[in-house]
A and B are shown apart, each in its own frame.
Chain A
Amino acid sequence: MTRYALYPGCLMPTEQYGYEVSLKSTLPLLGVELVELQGFSCCGEPLKSINQMLTLTLSARNLAICEKEELDILVPCPMCHLALSESKSILDGDAKMKERINSKLSGEGLEYRGISRIFHIIDLIHDVIGLDAVREKVEKPLSGLNFATHYGCHLIRPSSLGRPVDPENPQKMENILEALGAKADDYAEKLDCCGAPLLPVHPETSLTKAGQKLRSIQEQEFSGMALSCPWCHKMYDSRQKKAGETVGARLSVPVFYLTQLMGLAFGVDGEKLGLDLNLSPLEKVLDREKEVTS
Chain B
Amino acid sequence: MRRIGVFVCHCGINIASKVDVEDVTDFSSRLEGVVVSKDYKYMCSDPGAKLIKDSISEYGLDGVVIASCSPRMHEHTFRGVAEDGGINPYNVEITNIREQCSWAHEDRGEATKKAKSLVRAAVAKALLLEPLEKSRTPVTPEALVIGGGIAGMQAALDIADDGFKVHLVEKEPTIGGRMAQLDKTFPTLDCSSCILTPKMMETKNHPNIDLMTYSRVISVEGSVGNYRVKVLKKARYVDVDKCTGCGDCTTACRIAGHVPDPFNMNMGKRAAAYIPFPQAIPLKATLDPDHCLMLRFGKCGDGPLCVKACEAGAIDFDQKDQEIEINVGTIVVATGYDVLDAGKLFEYGYTRSPDVITTLELERLISSSGPTKGEVVLPSSNEKPRSVTFILCAGSRDETQCTWCCRIGCMSALKHVYLLREKLPCETEINICYTDIRSFGKGYEEFYRKIRGVGVSFFRGRPSEVRVSRKNITIDVFDTTTNKLFEIGTEMVVLVPALVPRADSEEFSRILGLSRSGDGFLLEAHPKLRPMDTFVNGIFVAGCCQGPKDISDTVSQASGAASRAAGILTKDELENDPLIAWVDPEVCVGCGVCVEVCAYSARKINEVTGIAEVDDALCAGCGACIAACPSNACTHRNYTKQQLVRMIDEVV
Q: Is A220 an interface residue, CB under 8 A from the partner? A: yes
Query: Is B346 a contact of A188 with CB atoms below 8 Å?
Result: no
- Nearest-neighbor residue (CB-CB) of A169 within chain B: B346
Query: Is B347 a contact of A188 with CB atoms below 8 Å?
Result: no
A159 to B352, CA, bound (A): 22
A166 to B344, CA, bound (A): 13
B interface majority secondary structure: mixed
- List which A176-213 residues lie within 8 A (CB) of chain B: 186-189, 191
- Nearest-neighbor residue (CB-CB) of A159 within chain B: B400
CB distance from A168 to the nearest CB of B (A): 4
Task: Render B323-353 as a binary contact track against A, CB cut-off 8 A, 1 for contact.
Answer: 0000000000000000000000011000010
- List which B303-328 residues lie within 8 A (CB) of chain A: none
Query: Is A187 a contact of B346 with CB atoms below 8 Å?
Result: no
Query: Is B352 a contact of A191 with CB atoms below 8 Å?
Result: no
Q: Is B469 an interface residue, CB under 8 A from the partner? A: yes
Query: Is B352 a contact of A220 with CB atoms below 8 Å?
Result: no
A166 to B346, CA, bound (A): 10
Q: Which of B347, B469, B470 counts the most A-chain CB atoms under 10 A from its CB?
A: B469
Query: Is A189 a contact of B467 with CB atoms below 8 Å?
Result: yes
- Contact residue among B400, B467, B468, B470 (Cβ-Cβ distance under 8 Å from A220): B470
Task: Render B472-496 as a binary contact track against A, CB cut-off 8 A, 1 for contact.
Answer: 0010000000000000000000000
Chain B contact patch, size range: 10 to 19
B468 surroundings in chain A (CB, below 8 A): 188
Query: Is B469 a contact of A168 with CB atoms below 8 Å?
Result: no
- Contact residue among A166, A169, A187 (Cβ-Cβ distance under 8 Å from B469): A187
CB distance from B191 to the nearest CB of A (A): 39
- Contact residue among A168, A186, A188, A191 (Cβ-Cβ distance under 8 Å from B474): A188
Query: Is A168 a contact of B470 with CB atoms below 8 Å?
Result: no
Query: Is A191 a contact of B470 with CB atoms below 8 Å?
Result: no
Query: Is B352 a contact of A186 with CB atoms below 8 Å?
Result: yes
A159 to B399, CA, bound (A): 12
Q: Is B429 an interface residue, CB under 8 A from the partner? A: no
CB distance from B380 to the nearest CB of A (A): 16
Q: Is B650 an interface residue, CB under 8 A from the partner? A: no
CB distance from B475 to the nearest CB of A (A): 11
Task: Render B356-394 as a binary contact track against A, CB cut-off 8 A, 1 for contact.
Answer: 000000000000000000000000000000000000000
User: What total of chain A residues lie within 8 Å of the partner, measured CB to CB?
Assistant: 10
Q: Is B465 an interface residue, CB under 8 A from the partner? A: yes
CB distance from A147 to the nearest CB of B (A): 16
Task: Render B143-184 as a binary contact track against A, CB cut-off 8 A, 1 for contact.
Answer: 000000000000000000000000000000000000000000
A186 to B351, CA, bound (A): 13
B347 surroundings in chain A (CB, below 8 A): 168
B474 surroundings in chain A (CB, below 8 A): 188
Task: Render B617-640 as a binary contact track against A, CB cut-off 8 A, 1 for contact.
Answer: 000000000000000000000000
CB distance from A169 to the nearest CB of B (A): 4
A191 surroundings in chain B (CB, below 8 A): 465
CB distance from A206 to the nearest CB of B (A): 16
A95 to B465, CA, bound (A): 39
A247 to B400, CA, bound (A): 36
- Nearest-neighbor residue (CB-CB) of A186 within chain B: B352
CB distance from B226 to the nearest CB of A (A): 50
Query: Is A168 a contact of B346 with CB atoms below 8 Å?
Result: yes
A187 to B470, CA, bound (A): 8
A220 surroundings in chain B (CB, below 8 A): 469-470
Task: Render A153-170 as a binary contact track against B, CB cut-off 8 A, 1 for contact.
Answer: 000000100000010110
A187 surroundings in chain B (CB, below 8 A): 469
A189 to B470, CA, bound (A): 12
CB distance from A278 to the nearest CB of B (A): 27
A159 surroundings in chain B (CB, below 8 A): 400
Task: Render A211-222 as a binary contact track against B, CB cut-off 8 A, 1 for contact.
Answer: 000000000100
B467 surroundings in chain A (CB, below 8 A): 188-189
A169 to B474, CA, bound (A): 17
A187 to B474, CA, bound (A): 12
- Nearest-neighbor residue (CB-CB) of A185 within chain B: B470
CB distance from B478 to the nearest CB of A (A): 14
CB distance from B473 to the nearest CB of A (A): 9
B470 surroundings in chain A (CB, below 8 A): 220
A168 surroundings in chain B (CB, below 8 A): 346-347
Task: Render B211-244 as a binary contact track against A, CB cut-off 8 A, 1 for contact.
Answer: 0000000000000000000000000000000000
CB distance from B466 to the nearest CB of A (A): 9
- Nearest-neighbor residue (CB-CB) of A191 within chain B: B465
A266 to B601, CA, bound (A): 69
A188 surroundings in chain B (CB, below 8 A): 467-469, 474
CB distance from A198 to the nearest CB of B (A): 14
B469 surroundings in chain A (CB, below 8 A): 187-188, 220
A50 to B574, CA, bound (A): 69
A245 to B465, CA, bound (A): 27
- List which A63-82 residues lie within 8 A (CB) of chain B: none
A169 surroundings in chain B (CB, below 8 A): 346
A258 to B468, CA, bound (A): 25
A169 to B470, CA, bound (A): 18
A166 to B468, CA, bound (A): 18
CB distance from A150 to the nearest CB of B (A): 15
- Nearest-neighbor residue (CB-CB) of A216 within chain B: B469
Top 10 nearest A-B pairs by Cβ distance? A188-B467, A188-B469, A168-B346, A169-B346, A168-B347, A188-B468, A187-B469, A191-B465, A188-B474, A189-B467
Chain B contact residues, CB within 8 Å of chain A: 346-347, 352, 400, 465, 467-470, 474
Pairs A–B under 8 Å by Cβ, sample size 15: A159-B400, A166-B346, A168-B346, A168-B347, A169-B346, A186-B352, A187-B469, A188-B467, A188-B468, A188-B469, A188-B474, A189-B467, A191-B465, A220-B469, A220-B470
Q: A187-B469, A188-B468, A188-B474 are in contact. List 12 more A-B contacts (CB 8 A).
A: A159-B400, A166-B346, A168-B346, A168-B347, A169-B346, A186-B352, A188-B467, A188-B469, A189-B467, A191-B465, A220-B469, A220-B470
